[in-house]
Chain A
Amino acid sequence: MKLDPRTKLLMVFSLSSLAVFIKELELLIPVMFIALLLVYFLGGELSVLKKHSKFLLIFIGIAVIQSIFSPSGEVLLNIGSLKLLTTGGLVKGVRVILRMFIIIVSATIMLDSNSREIIQGLIQWKVPYELAFMVSLAIRFLPLLGEEARDVYTAIQLRGIEVEELPLKKRFKLYSYLLMPVLSGVMVRAREISTSLECRAFRAYPQRSSYQQLQFQTADYLIVILSLIFTAVVLTISFIL
């Protein structure tokens, strides 16, 4: 289903807001399933999640840390007096995981929108063109940073460094090397883009016209209304009931 990028932005905003504001696991779980269903029906790329499955380990780590440092409820695992795993800590950890999962899943809804459409959507929402353009640049270039970091990591390994064999201290030192080329790459790219924009007379005229105009369809109106109702209902249940 081809939706207006503004409709998608609103859906992502609604789901992410719910993930941040609601505390109850009983509500977070259905919100997560709804996010998954939406992504599935809108043809979102859930394969992205598989690609980033390593993050799951980080989430599990967060759950364990939450359990150790926020001990409450029944103790499930302890070493001497140290409460290693408690029901309260576990619930908090699972909550963090669910929140991150909902935010990531909902963000995949935007993946099939091109940057031009997103800018146009924001402009028609009366967002200044400069700001809209910056948002679209950020969306476009963020994955490139990850790609650059991966390239550097590959280059380090191809210098004959067996990362898995390194002691933890050396491994951390090695990761610090990823920062320099990525940051310098960002600076170089920002300079090139700004030069390129100046050369194309960016902001030379106060008024811009658009060749392409976005038009809300019936499905867009329906989904926007349903998203707003759904968000209001879930927030009401969470805060009042």
Chain B
Amino acid sequence: MTQSRSGYKYLQLEDIVYSYPQTGFQLKGINLGFKRGEFTAISGPNGSGKTTLGKIMAGIIKADSGQVMIDGLDTREVSLGRIGKRVGYLFQEPGRQLFTGSVKEELAFTLSFREEEKEEIERLSKKALEDFSLSGLEEEAPFRLSAGEKQRLALAALIINQPDFLILDEPTKGLDPLRKEELTVILKNLQDSGVGMAVISHDNSFIEENADRIILLSRGELIETRSTH
């Protein structure tokens, strides 16, 4: 939380311009800063550029002009792998980011690639299974899970890597009220531990209840930024 109070912008967007030549859609001159420990909601109507903005923030797509800095690193100059060590990104269709043969393997994927101790991997996986109500599904193939379970698994697989910042694209999509409540608690705990997050969402009640700041996009332009407190 110290970093959030200090006002240091962990993720900074400067004069971002991006256009889709096929559709003529353009994100125009976006300037934003995101702090650690802060919950920022990005909202707006369909086609307003929310997901595009999220992907630019994570370095998945590169802006036509402007700069994205993550903790002082220019996303154009570092690999996605290096960005992924600091920033977790939840896709709108989480099924696309699950790629192993079982839930257990999905959770352990990055940790085993980083050659963490087996006991540590098991401890963190068990905790993630409990936190995200996935216990009992350890051996299940991710593609067989329900939409809500896929959503929770994808999020659990991101959080197990202990990122500094999360970009979540429609994280409440497909979640029932109980799971949404559980997600709220998890995100709140992460926020309290200093993780910053940008949540792209249409779910007004969810963002009004949880966000510190709401950013509103319309037709590729930033039209409003307001604090909820």
Q: Which of B76-84, B124-132, B184-192, B205-213 interfaces with chain A?
A: B76-84
Q: How far is the CB of A39 from chain B (nearest CB, A)?
A: 20
Q: In the complex, are the beta carbons of B83 and A158 less than 8 A apart?
A: yes
Instruction: Convert A158-194 into 0s and 1s, putting 1 for each residue whose CB lies closer than 8 angstroms to a CB of B.
Output: 1111111100001000100110110011001000000
Residues of A within 8 A of B157 (CB): 159
B91 with A151: CB separation less than 8 A: yes
Which residues of the other chain, A, contact B98 by a CB distance below 8 angstroms? Answer: 181
Docked pose: A177 CA to B161 CA in angstroms? 18
Distance (whole angstroms) from the CB of A143 to the closest CB of chain B: 14
Query: Which chain A positions have C-beta within 8 A of B143?
Result: 180-181, 184-185, 188
Residue on B nearest A179 in the bound complex, by CB: B99
Q: How far is the CA of A197 from the CA of B98 in the complex (A)?
A: 28
Q: Is A154 an interface residue (CB 8 A)?
A: yes
Asked whether A180 lies within 8 Å of B81 as measured between CB atoms, the reply is: no
Measured between beta carbons, the chain B residues less than 8 angstroms from A162 are 79, 81-82, 85
Residue A148 interfacial (CB < 8 Å):
yes
> What residues of A have a CB within 8 angstroms of the CB of B114 in the complex?
160
Q: Is B134 an interface residue (CB 8 A)?
A: no
Residues of B within 8 A of A174 (CB): 113
Is B110 an interface position by the 8 A CB rule? yes
- Which interface class (under 10, 10 to 19, 20 to 34, 35 or more) fits A? 20 to 34
When chains A and B are docked, how far (Å) is the Cα of A188 from the Cα of B113? 29
- Of listed B60, B81, B101, residue having the most chain A CB within 10 A: B81
Q: Does A3 contact B (CB under 8 A)?
A: no
Cβ of B88 under 8 Å from chain A: yes
A160 touches B85 (CB 8 A): yes
Report the Cα distance A11→B192, complex, angstroms. Answer: 64
Closest to A188 in B: B143
**Subset of 29 A-B contacts with CB under 8 Å:** A151-B91, A151-B97, A152-B99, A155-B96, A157-B84, A158-B58, A158-B60, A158-B84, A158-B97, A159-B84, A159-B110, A159-B158, A161-B81, A162-B82, A163-B79, A163-B81, A165-B81, A170-B113, A174-B113, A177-B99, A177-B100, A180-B143, A181-B95, A181-B99, A181-B143, A184-B143, A185-B95, A185-B143, A188-B143
Q: How far is the CB of B150 from chain A (nearest CB, A)?
A: 11
Chain A residues with CB under 8 Å of chain B are 148, 151-152, 154-165, 170, 174, 177-178, 180-181, 184-185, 188
8 Å CB interface, B40-54 against A: none
CB of A183, distance to nearest CB on chain B (Å): 9
B18 within 8 A of partner (CB): no
- The chain B residue with its CB closest to the CB of A159 is B110
Q: Are B79 and A164 in contact (CB under 8 A)?
A: yes
Q: Is B99 a contact of A154 with CB atoms below 8 Å? A: no
Contacts of B39 in A (CB 8 A): none
Asked if A160 contacts B100 (CB within 8 A), the reply is no
- Give me the 3 closest cross-chain CB pairs, A-B, nearest first: A162-B81, A155-B97, A157-B80
Tell yes or no: B89 within 8 A of A by CB.
yes
Q: For the complex formed, measure the closest distance between the CB of B106 and the CB atoms of chain A, giving whole angstroms.
A: 10
Q: A159-B84, A180-B99 are in contact. Are A154 and B110 (CB under 8 A)?
A: no
Task: Name B95-143 residues within 8 Å CB distance of A.
Answer: 95-101, 109-110, 113-114, 141, 143
Give Cα A178–Cα B100 distance, bound, in whole angstroms: 9
Residues of B with C-beta under 8 A to A178: 99
Query: Residues of A contacting B85 with CB < 8 Å?
Result: 160, 162
Given contacts A162-B81, A170-B113, A188-B143, contact A155 B99 (CB under 8 A): yes
A147 → B minimal CB distance (Å) = 10
Q: B162 — nearest CB in chain A belongs to which residue?
A: A160
CA distance in complex: A185, B96 (Å): 9
**In the complex the two chains form, what is the Cα distance from A181 to B100 in whole Å?**
8
How far apart sit A152 and B157, CA to CA, in the bound complex (Å)?
A: 14
Q: Is the CB of B96 within 8 A of A148?
A: yes
Which single member of A156, A164, A165 contacts B99 (CB below 8 Å)?
A: A156
Contacts of A161 in B (CB 8 A): 81, 84, 110, 113
Shortest beta-carbon distance from A60 to chain B in Å:
24
Which chain A residues lie closer than 8 Å to B96 at the CB level?
Answer: 148, 151-152, 155, 181
